[in-house]
């Protein structure tokens, strides 16, 4: 089994449901005896890198503030086995560039951008970014765009996936903004990587999150 200081994500052998939001948990984390989907534990912004390229994996993990190991139970061997890692998208891109020649890295990146554009509903994302700006006038516009892009990518398992119906649901957008603040403006990722449970980590960073959210909310002055 992986060392204790690694976050462990389980790739279930059979279909599982999140014990919190009751959505499908294609990958899950066990906490308080219940399966939690990645959205409910704030890990859904990470991207999956299958095992196989040791140098790429090492570099991607090193560059990733938050990362997790993905394991799956092998029935024949009767133990959990590593399948790959979850890392930050930027860290994976940087690691690929380090590993590949410049030309090849460019081609890979172009391909990835193309896939991303194809899967993303740009108009929907623009509307989401606009709505985030209305709900949080102090949120820097570039940040609102990034949050909308991240939540709006189809097939991602994030808030925005149920796109059509709920995309502009204020509560869903609010959750996406809070998740972004946790990862980018607080010690959250560091705490998780240090082995603090996600529930306790959330509790500890709550004041910092509240502070940012308050400063971004309607009525507060714009902070850039």
Binding site for Zn ion (CB under 5 A): 18, 20-21, 37, 40
Q: Rank residues 8 and 100 by Cβ distance to Zn ion and give the closer one.
A: 8
As measured in angstroms, the least distance from the Cβ of 35 to Zn ion is: 9
Torsion 26-30-31-34 (CA) sign? positive
Task: Report residue 170: phi and psi, to 5°.
Answer: -60, -40
Q: At a CB cut-off of 8 Å and minimum separation 6, what does 52 contact?
A: 84
Q: Rank residues 20 and 146 by Cβ distance to Zn ion and give the closer one.
A: 20
Where is 85: in which H helix or E strand?
strand 79-87
As measured in angstroms, the least distance from the Cβ of 17 to Zn ion is: 9
Q: At a CB cut-off of 8 Å and minimum separation 6, what does 80 contact?
A: 1, 10, 71, 72, 73, 74
C-alpha 164/C-alpha 53 separation (Å) is 37
As measured in angstroms, the least distance from the Cβ of 9 to Zn ion is: 13
C-alpha 107/C-alpha 119 separation (Å) is 18
Q: Rank residues 20 and 51 by Cβ distance to Zn ion and give the closer one.
A: 20
As measured in angstroms, the least distance from the Cβ of 161 to Zn ion is: 12
Q: Rank residues 95 and 192 by Cβ distance to Zn ion and give the closer one.
A: 192
Q: Rank residues 24 and 50 by Cβ distance to Zn ion and give the closer one.
A: 24
């Amino acid at each position: 089994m992986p060392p204790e200081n690694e976050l462990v994500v389980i790739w279930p052998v059979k279909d599982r449901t999140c014990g919190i939001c009751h959505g499908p948990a294609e990958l899950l984390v066990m906490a308080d005896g219940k399966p939690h989907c990645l959205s409910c534990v704030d890990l859904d912004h990470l991207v999956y890198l299958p095992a196989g390229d040791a140098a790429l994996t090492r570099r991607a993990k090193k560059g990733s503030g938050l990362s997790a190991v993905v394991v799956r139970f092998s029935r024949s061997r009767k133990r959990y086995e590593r399948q790959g890692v979850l890392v930050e998208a930027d860290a994976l891109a940087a690691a690929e560039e380090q590993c590949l020649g410049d030309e090849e890295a460019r081609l890979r990146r172009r391909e990835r951008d193309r896939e991303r554009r194809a899967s993303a509903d740009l108009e929907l994302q623009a509307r989401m970014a606009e709505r985030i700006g209305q709900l949080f006038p102090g949120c820097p516009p570039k940040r609102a765009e990034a949050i909308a892009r991240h939540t709006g990518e189809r097939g991602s398992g994030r808030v925005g996936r149920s796109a059509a119906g709920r995309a502009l649901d204020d509560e869903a957008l609010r959750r996406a903004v809070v998740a972004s603040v946790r990862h980018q403006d607080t010690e959250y990722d560091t705490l998780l990587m240090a082995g603090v449970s996600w529930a306790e980590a959330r509790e500890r960073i709550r004041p910092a999150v509240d502070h940012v959210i308050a400063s971004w909310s309607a009525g507060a002055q714009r902070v850039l």
